[in-house]
Structure 1
Amino acid sequence: MKWNLRMVAAQRDIWRPTQLLKAFEDVGFEPSLSKVASLWSKSPVTIRLDDLDKICAALDCTVDELMQAEPVLSRATPNQEQNAVGHNPTASRPVPRTSGGRSLPPN
């Protein structure tokens, strides 16, 4: 998801986290300034739905304006096999060494 808080805020002539905090307080949403600054500077990992509702109310926007879906790129190609880590079908198995007449450990 792409977090568009700064763009939506700029469209409403809000340019700083302190101005955003004031807009939040106008609708009864009172997060700390550090939380507002965090929302302002980076995309949140999680966000409560009621907080999202209040942010949209403060900015008079929709969730669709605030967050934009981005496609997820797949790393595997359709014909590529999924193998275990370290799997190499062409490599031979290691051969245990014996040294000085000692026997091999049990299997």
Structure 2
Amino acid sequence: MRWNLRMKAAEAGIWKSTEMRRRLAEAGLEISAGKMSALWTGTPTTIRLDDLDVICAVLECEPTELLIREPDKVAARRPQKTAEATGGAVVTPRFGRHRSVPPA
């Protein structure tokens, strides 16, 4: 995912994180300077849905405009499945009686 906060803020005429922080406070979301800086300069690893809702209300946008999918990055993370990786053999799962017994 790509975090698009700065672009959406710029489209709304907000050029500084302090202005964004002030508008969020007016909308009922008090946010620390450190957290605002992290949201403004990078991609957050987590964000509360309530906070995202207020950010979207301030910027008059949808969450999909702030969180942009990057399918190419997802595809790049998948392990390559080739015949060479499996030794040329097709791997099939074993079902039925060949399961291991759980520890006692």
The share of aligned pairs that are identical, in percent, is: 45
Q: Are 2:50 and 1:50 equivalent residues in the alignment?
A: yes
Give the AA of the match of 2:85.
E
Higher helix share: 2
Greater Cα radius of gyration, structure 1 or 2: 1
Gaps of 5+ in 1: 84-107
User: Which of these residues, 70, 81, 85, is aligned with residue 85 of structure 2?
Assistant: 81
For residues 68 and 13 of structure 1, what CA distance do their matches in structure 2 show?
Answer: 20
Q: Which residue of 1 aligns with 2:40?
A: 40
The alignment covers a number of residue pairs equal to 83
For residues 86 and 30 of structure 2, what CA distance do their matches in structure 1 show?
Answer: 49
Three-state SS of the structure 2 residue aligned to 1:64 is helix
State the superposition RMSD in angstroms.
1.7
Deviation at 1:37, TM superposition (A): 1.0
Give the AA of the match of 1:24.
L
TM-score (norm 2): 0.73
Gaps of 5+ in 2: 88-104
TM-score (norm 1): 0.71
Give the AA of the match of 1:16.
K
